[in-house]
Each structure stands twice: as C-alpha cells, then as structure tokens.
C-alpha cells in the first residue's frame, strides 16, 4: 500500500508524453483517447493523496513530487490542445499568457522567500484543476472554448493569487495549505484538523 501513491503519480507522469505524441502524430483521430487518458490522470491525482494520507506516507517528498508531475501532466494537455486546435488557442493567447505569468509568479515568490518551489495543494487550486478538466474536455473533445474556457481562466487567476498570498503569509515553507486563511491561522500559531480526503 505504501508504494501505491508513487505508482499513481508515476502513471500520470508517463501519460504526459503519450498525450503529446498522440495529438502531434495522430491529430484529430486521437481526441477520444486523449480525453480518456486525461480522466485517468485526474483519478490518479485524486487518489494518490487520499491513499497517501490513509496509509500515513504523505511526506514532503511525495507532495512535492505530486505537484511537479501535476504541472507536467496539465502542460501536456495544453500542448495537446494546441496541436489539435491551434486557431482556438491563438485566439485566446492573452488569457493563456496571464495564467502562465501567474504560475511563474507563484514559483518566483516561493523561491525568493523559501528557496523551494510552491507545494500548497490549496483548495482553490483543486477547484481550478476541475475547471481545467472541463475546459480541456470542450477544447479537445468538441473544439470549443466558450464559458468553460472563461471559467478556467477566472479560477486560474484567483487560485494563483490565493497561492501567492499563502506563500507571503506563511512564516516558513509548508506543504498542503488549503487557503490563505489557513496560512494566516498557521502564522498565528493555531492548529488545524486534517482529513483523509482533503489536505
């Protein structure tokens, strides 16, 4: 059981290059397969944390690895969406650039303050992940942006702002911080209860 979280993270890591290759080499014919792999990746992301907390192996090493693999996985879907729908992506480049800037800011602020990458696994970031799933379903599956894309851009901006606030508020680097409110409680010396299903 102790190795299952690492296996689930590994599956998501190996899915990333497969997704990119499928979209680049097979184009539109691979849409359904890519969507299937995306949903498999999401379930591995949900259950790696739950299982890790359940069996007591939710360590700093595991959570940092999980964060970096998440980034690789979602970037692979971004490249896939571009290969399949370059015109749609080009039309939305300013919104996409905003999210990349916010992501970079999270890492920059964390490195400046703590000399470590961010690893908050905040609740708003999880919600943004679900909106990404929806947006990529529309983009890859139906060649549409619309409200799903607008939602993920909005949540992306808000969730990254939340992460930046968490980093700025925390007195020392810490992983699995649900929100900037919880970061403030940590700064104030208050203990918080953790659950198996949420960090």
| pLDDT of 198 | 56
Rounded to whole angstroms, the Cα distance separating 133 from 148 reads 9
CB 132 within 8 A of CB 74: yes
Domain total of the chain: 2
SS3 track for 72-99: HHHHHHHHHHHHHCHHHHHHCHHHHHHH
Q: State mean pLDDT over 45-70.
A: 90
- The radius of gyration computed from the CA coordinates of the chain, to the nearest angstrom, equals 17
Give the up-direction half-sphere exposure of residue 44: CA atoms within 13 A in the CB hemisphere. 24
Do 36 and 104 belong to one domain?
Answer: no
Structure tokens at 96: 């996409």
Q: What is the pLDDT of residues 93-113, one digit of tens each?
A: 999 999 999 999 999 999 999
Structure tokens at 40: 């498999």
CB 13 within 8 A of CB 73: yes
Do 77 and 115 belong to one domain?
Answer: no
Do 108 and 137 belong to one domain?
Answer: yes
pLDDT bracket for residue 49 (50, 70, 90): confident
Do 108 and 162 belong to one domain?
Answer: yes
| pLDDT of 56 | 81
Q: What is the pLDDT of residues 9-25, one digit of tens each?
A: 999 999 999 999 999 99
Q: What is the pTM of this model?
A: 0.91
197 pLDDT more than 70 = no
Domain boundary among 27, 61, 84: 84
Spell out the residues 6+ positions from residue 50 whose beta carbon is closer than 8 angstroms to its own.
196, 197
| pLDDT of 54 | 86
Do 52 and 122 belong to one domain?
Answer: no
Domain boundary among 84, 103, 123: 84
Rounded to whole angstroms, the Cα distance separating 195 from 176 reads 11
Spell out the residues 6+ positions from residue 78 whose beta carbon is closer than 8 angstroms to its own.
96
């Amino acid at each position: 059981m102790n190795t299952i979280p690492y296996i689930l993270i590994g599956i998501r890591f190996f899915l990333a290059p497969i997704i990119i290759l499928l979209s680049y080499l097979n184009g539109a014919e691979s849409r359904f397969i890519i969507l299937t792999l995306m949903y498999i990746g999401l379930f591995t992301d949900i259950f790696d944390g739950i299982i890790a907390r359940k069996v007591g192996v939710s360590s700093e090493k595991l959570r940092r690895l999980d964060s970096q693999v998440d980034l690789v996985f979602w970037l692979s879907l971004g490249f896939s969406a571009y290969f399949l729908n370059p015109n749609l992506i080009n039309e939305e480049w300013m919104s996409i650039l905003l999210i990349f800037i916010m992501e970079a800011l999270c890492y920059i602020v964390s490195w400046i303050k703590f000399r470590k990458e961010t690893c908050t696994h905040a609740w708003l970031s999880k919600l943004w992940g679900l909106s990404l799933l929806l947006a990529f379903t529309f983009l890859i599956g139906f060649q549409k942006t619309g409200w799903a894309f607008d939602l993920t851009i909005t949540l992306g901006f808000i969730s990254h702002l939340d992460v930046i606030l968490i980093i700025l508020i925390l007195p020392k680097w810490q992983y699995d911080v649900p929100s900037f409110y919880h970061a403030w409680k940590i700064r104030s010396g208050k203990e918080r209860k953790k659950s198996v299903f949420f960090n």
